[in-house]
Amino acid sequence: MESPIQPQPHVIEEIEQWPIYRLYEEREKLVEEINQSAIRSLKSKYKGKLDKLLARTIYMEKVRMREDPWNADPQSEPLFWRKIQKSLPESSADPEDIESRSEYLLRKIIERYAEEIAGGFKKNTFLFARRVLHFFFKRLLNAASAKNIFYIFRSRHKINERIKLFGPLEKIRTLSTDGVLVIVPTHSSNMDSILIGFALDEIAGLPAFSYGAGLNLYNSELFGYFMNRLGAYRVDRRKKNPVYLESLKAMSNISLQWGTNTLFFPGGTRSRSGSLETRLKLGLLGTAVEAQREILKYGHSRKIYVVPLVLNYHCVLEARYLIEQHLRSIGKDAYLGSGRDEFKSFKNVFVFLYRLLSKSSEIALSFGEPMDVIGNPVNDQGISLDHKGQPIRLEDYFTSPEEDGEGGEAQRDNVYTSILAEKIVESYHQHNVVFSTNLVSYCAFKTIEHQNPSLDVFALLRLDLDDVVLEPAVLENNILEIQKVLAREEMKGNIRLDQTALLPPSECIADAINKIGVFHSIKPLKYTKIGKITSGNLKVLYFYHNRLDTYEFLKDFWK
């Protein structure tokens, strides 16, 4: 695998010239355009049925407020929705009056949603956050390996020695000067946003990105304060009603049309299973297609470039909580468990990072090749290429034949979004950086499966841990064979291997055991007193194993 990328100078030095800065300089105009865009779309989709849409929205919001309240919710919410409900048009009124009144109330709702969703960007807050994060990571990095406390103020280690970037960064930087970047990362931890934002600024030298932050993070006043000023827009995943979702899509669409680089997690939320995403949410992803269509429709040539990004840790802070949620969702009556989200404790976040860096543990951010919004690769000049490497015109994809009729554009956009999602998932698997922890966890759990061929995954996870004992020689042989398969596939460009995954099997196991247990109080992998290998937590071991379990080329070995 290529060497990690060295820190780069900023593509645009002046913050006032950053697209995100210009976007929020005109926040009032942004909010108004969200309002207009959302109402146009809803009137088109629900023509003659706005009253039913309104009733459904009110009902869903009342259920949300009653069953799932958060600290971040405005205190005025119940009063607002009571007023909306009291203002509903009478069912016996004239149909035109019902439609007109319903549209008026929908505008009121969208105005409220738009104000809630749109965040902000303040230069001074950004500069403060940049200094704090730089100091925090540098001091943490040095404290983790310091022999005495005075060493923590010396720069003995470089940040890019631990937070490693891979991929065609120079190409991405060049494309950002004339186009719009949409970074679409994998998502395994609530730390992802902080680390990605830090790495894109500190190492990649790219301007700050607009990004969606879960409203649950605003339950903390400290997090909320900074996110409101660092380019984040709020995403409330509890709100499933079409009016909110349309408002959210309008925010993404308009910011892209205005040329704002954007980052969002197309998986929608953290991967509960620990595996790479194989199915993506098409809602926000589709806004990139819609925005590109609108840009071309008005005669502009600016292109939107979609850049997949795979983030990987040796150890995931919330692994136990996430796998508990995953098992409950798929197991139903077959599984009972409990877990606490470790990210909700600032102390846990700090301790996790300290231990992560103290073990010389790396974090990998692996960029895939940029593509256009249809999923076509682009060359260094941003020209779209077909499967033979020949230049193609992106405009041709958005030419609307008259015979398509009403809804033709939306249907095509949906098809293009599905194609784009498939290309992103393919890129995730190609550019996934495999650590020793991924490889050893995968082989260890598969070996346990083969020792218990009659058990399904839920029965395996209920095994008495005294019966889970692996002979080092058996595990080492399995690792060696899987290393051969992975090395062949890396040569084909189907995966990326960290140097820790290429260590001799016995060293690879030792490295994985050292790093995978960095935070977990009960170790998912450990040595027994007589030198054999066992697990203290099969569920967490299963979580780390899942990182490689979606690769078809590995499955033949275990048959």
181 forms bridges with which residues in the sheet? 305
With respect to residue 385, please indicate whether it lies within any of the assigned structural domains: yes
235 forms bridges with which residues in the sheet? 214
Kindly give the pairing relationship between strand 262-263 and strand 210-214.
parallel
Do 508 and 401 belong together in one domain?
no
With respect to residue 167, please indicate whether it lies within any of the assigned structural domains: yes
Q: Which domain holds residue 405?
A: 120-314+362-431
Do 171 and 185 belong together in one domain?
yes
Do 232 and 371 belong together in one domain?
yes
With respect to residue 325, please indicate whether it lies within any of the assigned structural domains: no
Do 208 and 225 belong together in one domain?
yes
Helix (H, G, I), strand (E, B) or coil at 325: helix
What span, in angstroms and rounded, lies between the C-alpha atoms of 408 and 146? Answer: 63
Kindly give the pairing relationship between strand 210-214 and strand 232-235.
parallel
Do 454 and 391 belong together in one domain?
no
With respect to residue 424, please indicate whether it lies within any of the assigned structural domains: yes
Do 217 and 160 belong together in one domain?
yes
- Beta carbons of 532 and 315 less than 8 angstroms apart: no
With respect to residue 468, please indicate whether it lies within any of the assigned structural domains: yes
Provide the token pair at 137.
Answer: 């990571």
Record the pTM.
0.90
- Beta carbons of 119 and 232 less than 8 angstroms apart: yes
Contacts of 453 (CB under 8 A, 6+ apart): none
Instruction: Compute the chain's Rg from CA coordinates.
Output: 25
Do 539 and 395 belong together in one domain?
no
Q: What is the pLDDT of residues 504-515, one digit of tens each?
A: 999 999 999 988
Taking only the tens of pLDDT, the chain with its 559 residues reads 677 788 899 999 999 999 999 999 999 999 999 999 999 999 999 998 999 999 999 999 999 999 999 888 889 999 999 999 999 988 888 888 999 999 999 999 999 999 999 989 999 999 998 888 887 777 666 655 544 444 444 545 567 778 899 999 999 999 999 999 999 999 998 888 888 999 999 999 999 999 888 777 776 777 777 777 888 898 898 999 999 999 999 999 999 999 999 999 999 889 999 999 999 999 889 999 999 999 998 888 899 999 999 999 998 888 999 999 999 888 755 555 555 665 655 566 666 666 666 556 788 999 999 999 999 999 999 999 999 999 999 999 987 655 455 567 888 899 999 999 999 999 999 999 999 999 999 999 999 999 999 999 999 999 999 889 999 999 999 999 999 999 999 999 999 999 999 999 999 999 999 888 777 878 999 999 999 999 999 999 999 999 999 999 998 888 7
Do 270 and 174 belong together in one domain?
yes
With respect to residue 33, please indicate whether it lies within any of the assigned structural domains: no
Burial (CB count <10 Å: 0-12, 13-18, 19+), residue 125: middle
Q: Could you say which of 409, 431, 453 is where a domain stops?
A: 431
Backbone angles phi, psi at 466, to 5 degrees: -65, -20
Provide the token pair at 184.
Answer: 């679409």
Q: What is the pLDDT of residues 524-547, one digit of tens each?
A: 999 999 999 999 999 999 999 999
Q: Could you say which of 378, 399, 431 is where a domain stops?
A: 431
With respect to residue 45, please indicate whether it lies within any of the assigned structural domains: no
What span, in angstroms and rounded, lies between the C-alpha atoms of 12 and 173? Answer: 10
Do 291 and 415 belong together in one domain?
yes
What span, in angstroms and rounded, lies between the C-alpha atoms of 287 and 250? Answer: 8
* Closest of 178, 223, 229 to residue 208, by C-alpha: 229
Do 217 and 289 belong together in one domain?
yes
- Beta carbons of 349 and 343 less than 8 angstroms apart: yes
CATH of the domain at 247: 3.40.1130
**What's the number of domains the chain is made of?**
2
Do 369 and 481 belong together in one domain?
no
Kindly give the pairing relationship between strand 533-534 and strand 210-214.
unpaired
Do 450 and 306 belong together in one domain?
no
Q: How many residues does the chain have?
A: 559
In this structure, is the dihedral angle defined by the CA atoms of residues 278, 282, 283 and 285, taken in order, positive or negative? positive
Q: Could you say which of 376, 405, 431 is where a domain stops?
A: 431
With respect to residue 539, please indicate whether it lies within any of the assigned structural domains: yes
What pLDDT is attached to residue 358? 58
